[in-house]
Every structure is written in structure tokens, then in C-alpha cells.
Chains A and B, each alone.
Chain A
Amino acid sequence: MTERTIPTNPSPLWLAYTALCRIGAICTVELQKLRHDRTELITRAVQPTLWLLVFGQVFTQIRAIPTGSTPYLDFLAPGILAQSALFIAIFYGIQIIWERDSGMLAKLMVTPTPRVALVAAKAFAAGIRAVVQAIAVMIVAAILGVHLDTAPARLVGTVIALILGSAFFCCLSITIAGLVLSRDRLMGIGQAITMPLFFASNALYPVQLMPGWLQVINRINPLSYEVDALRGLLVNTPAALGFDFLVLVLASAAMISVAAALLPRLTVG
């Protein structure tokens, strides 16, 4: 049994296979971490639960936001799913600075792992965590009486939408980490962008209700495409699923490349 040797000029196929192995390894580790620390799953479920319970119930009662034939709580639930995934993903950039400070990142970067595979692995690990978290939020939503369509194909679509959305925001956060290089600054920026991303999306209200300028921002906000896909899949609202997934795939691929290009900046200093 010999170990795989590194070809002098690695072919794209070889690189793709290596990348898949690395992504598998780092995602497995993410699940192991979750297994050892289940409390995080519960503490992170508190906020989405409050959104559904308080905001959702109140706005359903006062009928302030017209959502057609869909009850407001049903309309809101996919938005909250996307929000909880967004918060988890943004946290990953902060984590990568922590890993830089603890030497873990340098150790990972000295392994024979292409940068882009390392970033993609982090991105999908964030996705895995978001999916596990989403299960908790969906259970809460179901208890509150949200009618979720749980046909297997729709659940598969939900998982893919959550993973792609998380990958994008995780890499956005790693990109900012690569630019600002300090945890304090990143935490400030992280907090400063997550809420605007959330409010400037269709997570809380239908696009038609937005003023014109917000509709423009909404259109370039990947979170809106994630919410649109989740809403179409889980509560059967009309959605441009094909286009949503196309945007999510392209946006996350682009963001992974940008984050991978900036990653070495973190281990230079």
C-alpha cells in the first residue's frame, strides 16, 4: 500500500478528486464537533424560535403584511430558516480568524490541500451545520402550525438551497476576514452586514411591498434567491426555482474563488 503521490503537473481530474476528499474530511469533522457539543444546536435555535413565535404570531394577528392566500407564519418560516443559516455562515469568517490565531489554519494550509478545496470545505461545513440547524427550526415551525411540504424531493431541494446559501455567506465572511485580518473588526462588520442583508431581502415581506430602491438591493442579494427557493419548496409559493438555484450556484462558486484567493493573506503576517 503506498500513499497517493503528487503528480508533477496535477491534472484537473486529480485536483477535483483531491478537493472532494478534503471537503469530505472537513465536513465529517464538522459533524463530529456537532456531536460533541449539542448545546450549541439548542442555543442557536433560540433566536429563530423567537422570530417565529413573537414576530410571526404578532404579524399574523395584525395582518400587517399581505401575503395573499399564504398565512403570514407560513410565509415567514422559510425566511427564518435562511436567516439562521446566514448567521451560522457569517460566523465562519470569525472562526477562520480564530483558527489563524491558534495556528490551526497554518497547519491546514501546510497539508497538500489546494486553497480552493480548503475554502470549499469550510463553505460546505458551514452548510452542513446550517442544515442540521434547519431541522431544529423546521420542527419548531411545525409545532407552531406552519404547513411545511415535506415531500422527499422538496427536502432535498431545501438541503441544497441551504448549503449553497451558507457556502456563499461563509465565503463572503472569509473574504472580509482576508481583507480586515482582525477578529474585532470582522465581528463589527459581520454584525453590520447581517441585519441589512436580512432586512433587504424578501425574508420578512413580499418584494411587491418594498420601495423601488429596496427592490433593486433585493435583486442583487443572494439571500433573497435562497428564501425564494426555500419558500417555493416548503410552502408552495410561486417561485423561479431554476433561476434561484442558478444564481445560488454561480454566486457561491464565485465567492469560493474570491475567498480562496484572499486566504493566503491570513497566514502572511
Chain B
Amino acid sequence: MPAVRCTGLSRRFGDTLAVDNLDLEIVQGEIFGLLGPNGAGKTTTIRMITTLLPPPRGTIEVFGADVAARRMAVRRLIGYVPQQLSVEATLTGRENVWLFAKLYDVPRLTRVRRVNEVLAGVGLAEVADRLAKTYSGGMIRRLELAQALVSTPRLLVLDEPTVGLDPVARDDVWERIEQIRADSGMTVLVTTHLMQEADERCDRVALMHRGRIQALGTPAQLRGNLGDGATLDDVFRAYTGDELADTGSIRDVRSARRTARRLS
């Protein structure tokens, strides 16, 4: 059974076909990267997999459970970190994680221990009782990881987890993700538009452009198809052309700017 299986998935916003007849299988335990420029349909796909958007056409199964029919059960299996830095700034790190332990019904008897465990796991145990507004961007990202992990999900979904982070914080976040995967065998679905990052960290990647998957495989396979010395950036250009600048809605840009502002 795959961790995620999408069949014939489509979604339209007004005149734009954001996701166009998409078929996708994510194997259990892998780190799967969904790559593409802004507006390629990555976030829409993620929103449908995480039950935020109902798929108007096609089906999605998460560990065999149909997303449309068993929304609540699917939510239980998923830990989700959205693109923006989304913590309650006026709560402490611990309170932020506690809320999600409650919302995912982590049993009372193990709740305190579990909250402490995940906070320690992302290296925030020392600062857990400080208000989240005093945290740096990298710390907030790690706090979000702790929130997503407190329910021991089987699928961790990360939408642009390193956007706006400096290289050190970025490496740190990725090392945590890899550590979590190694410890728990969790499946990780991640979107990014940073090719080098995907090349280094993902087991398999799918290149998405205009709502369709243009290429799928391990980073080495995709590079190999293009010839010696090719980088994933070259592969990316080969499939998308030079349209990076004029794709993506104003909303993507706004949301990226907002994230950047919050981080500075």
C-alpha cells in the first residue's frame, strides 16, 4: 500500500487548471519532493491531500483511506506544516505544542511526556517556556515541526519548509527531518522550489509544471536523463523553459513576502 495515491486528480480555479489530471504514488517511508515554480500546482495538490480542499475530480488515498470519504481518519494520519510561519506568537513554545497534542487527542497520561519528547527532538527543550514571538525564524520552523510531530503522524507534509530561512537554519531543519524519518520510518512529502535542496535531501522527486507532473524519479535518474554534469536546476529548466518569472499568482508573491517579513 502506498502512503499516498492520487488518481486522475484535477482542480480548477476560475479559468486556470491548477492541477490537471494528476497521477501520483508516494512510497511508504520515502522523502518525496514535489518541485516546481510558483503556480505549478504544488500547494493545491498538498491542500487536496491534506483535506483542505475537496478534490472535484479524481481520488486520493492516504494509507488506503479515501480522503473524500474518510476525512477525519486521514487527518489523524497527517502532520502538516504550512508554507507560512504559523505559530501563536503570544503563547510559549510548549503551549503551542500542547494545543496540537490536545487537537490530535494525544492521551492525557502520555501528553506531557510526548510534548517534552518532541520539543527535545527539535532542540527547543531549553526555550520551551519562552513566548514564541521571541524565537528566530529557524526556531519557529522547528517548533512547527514539533507541533506536526506530537501526534506521531504517519505522513509528514511540509509546504516549502525552508522558505526564507538562512542556509544554516535550512540545513538544521533538513537534518531534523532526516533524523525523524530515520527514527520513525515516517513518510515525508515536501514541496520546494530549491533544486539543490531537493537533490540533496529527497529520495524521489516529481517535477510539476502547469498542473502536471513533467518528470518523476530519483534526483540522480533525472539528472542522468539530461546527460553528464547536469544539475537538477538544468532538468528543471528543460521542462519549464524560461517562464519562471511570469507564472504564479500575485497571492503566491504576497504570501512569500509576508513570510519573508515575518522572518526579518
Contacts and interface: CB of A to CB of B under 8 A. Distances in A.
A37 to B, nearest CB: 5
Given A29-B88, A101-B258, A112-B75, A106 B82 contact: yes
Interface string A203-225: 00000000000000000000000
Given A106-B86, A112-B76, A29 B91 contact: yes
A21 B84 CA distance: 27
Main secondary structure of the interface of B (DSSP, over half): mixed
Nearest to B144: A107
Contacts of A2: 107
Contacts of B218: none
B139 to A, nearest CB: 16
B250 to A, nearest CB: 11
Interface size class of B (residues with CB under 8 A): 35 or more
Interface size class of A (residues with CB under 8 A): 35 or more
Given A21-B102, A21-B105, A29-B99, A107 B86 contact: yes
B240 interface: no
A3 B91 CA distance: 26
For A22, A26, A102, the residue with the greatest tally of chain B CB atoms inside 10 Å of its CB is A102
A109 B83 contact: no
Main secondary structure of the interface of A (DSSP, over half): helix
Interface in A62-103: 101-103
A110 B86 contact: no
Given A3-B107, A112-B104, A102 B73 contact: no
Interface string B97-131: 00110111111011000000000000000000001
A113 B151 CA distance: 14
Contacts of B182: none
Interface string B74-92: 0110101111111110111
Interface string A108-137: 111111100000000000000000000000
Contacts of A26: 99
Nearest to A8: B70
Given A109-B52, A110-B51, A112-B76, A36 B99 contact: no
B253 to A, nearest CB: 14
Contact of A29 (B95, B131, B151, B262): B95
B72 A6 contact: yes
B50 interface: yes
Contacts, number: 103
Interface in B1-25: 13
A18 B103 CA distance: 9
A185 interface: no
A269 interface: yes
B53 interface: yes
Given A3-B106, A25-B99, A36-B131, A111 B75 contact: yes
B72 A104 contact: no
Interface string A1-37: 1111110101000000010011011101100110011
A4 B105 CA distance: 7
A25 B91 contact: no
A101 B102 contact: no
Contact of B147 (A4, A10, A107): A107
Interface in B195-227: none
A21 B106 CA distance: 11
A64 B76 CA distance: 61
Contacts of A268: 52-53
Contacts of A108: 103
B72 A10 contact: yes
B80 A110 contact: yes
A47 interface: no
B176 interface: no
Given A36-B131, A110-B52, A268-B53, A103 B83 contact: yes
A14 B18 CA distance: 36
Given A33-B88, A110-B52, A110-B78, A25 B102 contact: yes
Contacts of B258: 101
A111 B104 contact: yes
B103 A113 contact: yes
B80 A107 contact: yes
Given A32-B91, A112-B105, A107 B82 contact: yes
B47 interface: yes
A22 B72 CA distance: 14
Contact of A267 (B52, B84, B109): B52
* The 9 nearest A-B residue pairs measured at CB: A103-B86, A103-B82, A103-B84, A25-B102, A111-B103, A6-B73, A110-B80, A112-B75, A104-B86
Interface of B: 13, 47, 50-53, 70, 72-73, 75-76, 78, 80-88, 90-92, 95, 99-100, 102-107, 109-110, 131, 147, 151, 251, 255, 258, 262
